[in-house]
Structures are given as C-alpha cells and as structure tokens.
Amino acid sequence: MLTLQFIPYSEIENLDSPSRIDKILDVVKQNKIVLMQGRLKPEEETLLIMETMSQIHKSFKGVEICTIYPEEKDLQLFNKFKKEMVKFLIGHRDGVTIVGPSSVVKEIRRNPNKVELFTIPGMASMGSSRKSTVTRKKATKKRTVARKKTTKRRTRGRR
C-alpha cells in the first residue's frame, strides 16, 4: 500500500523554515509520500537536503523531491502585478511539492508538464518495518545454511 499525505498550505503558513522541514521529514520517515500545497523557497530546499543528509542512517537513506509550479512566462505588466499582489495577500500557494522516502520512491522524473513517480517494486507495501536488500539476502543465506545443517544432521542420524 502506498500512502500519500496531503499537507495544505494553511498548515505550514505560520511555521518557520526549520519547523516546516521537520514537519515534512516526520511524515516522510513514516514511509509516506508528502504532497504539499505550494513550494519551498530555494533556501528551504537546501535546508531540507542538509537536514536529510544529517539524519541518514540504516533505515533512512534519503528523500526524492520534486516541485511543480506554473511557469510565469511572458506575463504582461498588469498580470505580473496582479500575481504579486495575490502572492502578498495569500502567500506562495502556487504549485505542488512532492517529497517521498528513497526507500519507497525510486525516482521522480519531471518533464516540464509531466511528473512520473517510480516506486521500488514491493517496497511500498512493506512500510517502516521493511528490510534492506542486503539484510534480506543475508537472512536468506542464513536460512539456507541452517537448512543444510539440519539435513546433514538428519542424514547422520539415519546412518
């Protein structure tokens, strides 16, 4: 099961940058994909990267981020002014930010008008208790070794 959690702009409107990032990372660490209304500032994006880097360990290997926002190309002066006024009044609500844990989201491919989200097969359903590929391989090895040992003992016993 893949869980998407929506964070409306009203929830982060009054938060400062570090607490916004903490909020996003808290959700991501629960192996959920965050869909946030609005976009982070460039400084907040770097802060998010720095924070994820400082929190990386065995079970948390990073995030995949993508921001989509309407491009402001060839706007007339009046329209520009109108947009700026709206931004000033209601905040930067334009666009959507997607943040997912790298253990679930393999890649987010963004073309100008399209976003493709590739998940790791079988990982999304495992939730937070999932094991890494290496640990799973090790576990299967151990199991096979144990099986071999038991079969050997049985054969000796029969003899």
Site of interaction with another protein (CB under 8 A): 41-43, 45-46, 49-50, 52-54, 56, 61-67, 102, 108-112, 132-134
Q: Please, what is the minimum distance in Å from the beta carbon of residue 41 to another protein?
A: 8
Cβ-based nearer residue to another protein, 2 or 120: 120
Return the number of the residue (9 or 60) whose C-beta is nearest another protein. 60
Residue (12 or 108) nearer to another protein, CB: 108
Residue with Cβ nearer another protein (109 or 143): 109
Tell me how far, at minimum, the Cβ of 50 lies from another protein, in Å: 5
| Strand 33-37 versus strand 4-7 pairing type | parallel
69, 70, 40: which is closest to 52 by C-alpha?
40
CB of 134 to another protein, least distance (A): 5
Q: How far is CA 129 from the centre of its chain?
A: 16
Q: How far apart are CA 153 and CA 159, in angstroms?
A: 10
139/144 Cα distance (integer angstroms): 9
Taking the complex as a whole, the smallest distance from the CB of residue 159 to another protein amounts, in Å, to 39
Q: Which residue in this structure is represented by tokens 């916004």?
A: 20
Pairing of strands 105-111, 96-101: unpaired
Backbone angles phi, psi at 108, to 5 degrees: -115, 110
Residues 5/33, Cβ–Cβ less than 8 Å: yes
Which residue number, 132 or 151, has a Cβ lying nearer to another protein? 132
Q: Please state the closest distance from residue 112 (CB atom) to another protein, in A.
A: 7
